Each structure stands twice: as C-alpha cells, then as structure tokens.
Amino acid sequence: MMTEFTSADGVLRDRRVVGRYLQFYADEHPISAQLFGSDPAVLADAARLCEDLGFDLVDLNLGCPAKKVVKCNGGSGLLRDLPAIGRIFRAVRAAVRIPFTVKFRAGWSEQEIVCVELARMAEDCGLAAVALHARTREQGYSGFARWEWIAAVKAAVRIPVVGNGDIRRPEDAAAMVGQTGCDAVMIGRTAASNPWIFRQIAEYSARGCYEEPGEADRYSMIRTYFEMLIAEETPGAIGKMKQFVSWFTHGVPNSSGLRKAVYEARSEREVLERVTAFFEGNALPAAAHAASLSAVLS
C-alpha cells in the first residue's frame, strides 16, 4: 500500500501534515510513503522522517500532472530535468536504509518520452523498483495508457517494473502483465471506486473468474470506512462520504434515493444514519448485518 503523495516541504515544516497524510494502521504493512518535491536535501530529510515513522518503503512521485504541483517543479514537472532527478535519487538513496522507489510518467509530451532513460538512471542510483504510469504529463488522465512504454522499460532494466494505467477490471491486470512482462501492477483510481478489485484480481488469477461485491459487502465497506472517518476526525469527512457513497452504491437497487438523502445530510453522523437506515430497510440478512457491524467494531 502507498500513502497519497505528500509534500516533502510540508512534512518538514508542519507536523500536522504528518498527522494528516502519513498516518497508517498497524495491520497496513508493508506500506510506502510517497513524497514529492524538487530539493534533494529536503526530500532526503523527509525520507528519513518517513523511515523513522515506521514506513517500509519510500517512493518519489514524478507523475502528478496537477498544475499547482508542476509549477513548483514537483511531480511530472521534473521530467524535463533528468540531471535534477538524478541528484534527488542519489540524495534520498543515501539518506535511508529502507527500499526507495519511484513512480513516473512516460515523459512531458509525446515528443519528450524519457521513461527508459529515467528507469535506467533509477537502477544505476540503487532504487529498488520503478513504477510507470504509461501516459505523458500533457495527457493528464485523458486518452489511453500506452502499455508498450511499460514493456520498453521492462526490457531496459533488471529491477522490478510496476505497470500503471487503465486497469479497471481483473482482466486488464492480467492483460497488462501478459503484454508488457511487468512484475506487478499498480492500481490507483479504480481502487477508490471498486476497493474489491484486489480480491477480484486474486480470484481471477486463481480460477479465471471472480465475484462482484454483494449488498452486504457494500454496506460493510461503507459503514467501516465512514466510522473510520468520524473516529479520526478527518478534515472534509462529509465531502468524502458523499463522494464515496455514490461510487460504492452503484448497482444497488433503489440506491438513487440513498444518494439523494446523503447529499442532503448536514453532518457526518447524519450521513452514517441514512446509510444504515437504507441498508437495514432493504432487509439485509441478519448474519450479513452482524458481520458488517463486527467489521466496524473490530
């Protein structure tokens, strides 16, 4: 697992950033802290902090296409300056004992593809693995990921290569491995809308088929996640709840009424109460309801 990408400057400047972005639970190992920034010394110090916090790996984000990140020369903004990336690689690698990895895009644009050169530099600098999101910065999240770029990186280095981009179903994960030879796949956006994707990939790999989440699965997931948001006093929790309930309930009969009720709720507890009332009103089997409550309480 990996944290959302976190500013190295912010981590060192404000301990509240650590509390918000670099918290994890004891059962979430192995877990990686993903950092972004452009100053080698700052990134090295932030990586040391992550190691001290108990992270198993540290990762450098060279993929984010957001303008506010790029304009600070972070994320994919660094893809036009490979010497600067090299200085960061060496500084962070020297700063920590835990594995150090990097996630990057293929390049700034179709005319500036640097993924193979960057991967080779990562290997030369002692990084443990590389992950490629097979789009350019200019693409953002539009168009299609070019999996052939993942194959090119895999052919160029000996360290593990992780493929990323356009894995929406278990069949896509299998196809990416088959077409590129990559050692693993990384799933980002799909995991938010379908957190069962990992279970489904395991099932598909083992027996060629997989189960869709049932109503009890969805109720347990929603309730557990929302209770965690409330317990942790997560900033913006009500907004996250309204976003995720929309994703988690597609395919559930009459769920449009639930989504409307949730959007109209004014507090986190009210959201949770409306979710509970909806699923209990749908007469979930008693065993499934008990299992979902057990998951929350544990």
What is residue 1's predicted lDDT score, i.e. its pLDDT? 92
Block means of pLDDT (10 residues each) for the chain, length 298 residues?
Answer: 93 88 92 96 97 98 90 90 97 98 96 97 98 95 94 98 97 97 95 92 96 90 91 88 86 87 92 91 50 45
- Contact status, residue 44 vs residue 78, Cβ threshold 8 Å: no
Helix axes 147-156, 115-124, angle to 10 degrees: 30
What is residue 281's predicted lDDT score, i.e. its pLDDT? 81
Whether 64 is catalytic is: yes
What is residue 157's predicted lDDT score, i.e. its pLDDT? 98
Predicted TM-score (pTM) of this structure? 0.87
- Contact status, residue 8 vs residue 91, Cβ threshold 8 Å: no
Catalytic residue among 50, 64, 115, 182: 64
Give me the domains of the chain, ranges plus CATH numbers: 6-190 (3.20.20.70), 215-297 (no CATH)
- Contact status, residue 273 vs residue 264, Cβ threshold 8 Å: no
What is residue 287's predicted lDDT score, i.e. its pLDDT? 42
- Contact status, residue 265 vs residue 272, Cβ threshold 8 Å: no
The first and second tokens of residue 57, run together, are: 């790996």
- Contact status, residue 107 vs residue 78, Cβ threshold 8 Å: no
- Contact status, residue 184 vs residue 103, Cβ threshold 8 Å: no
Q: In this structure, how many other beta carbons lie within 10 angstroms of the beta carbon of residue 173?
A: 23
Closest by CA to 10, choosing from 72, 57, 94, is: 72
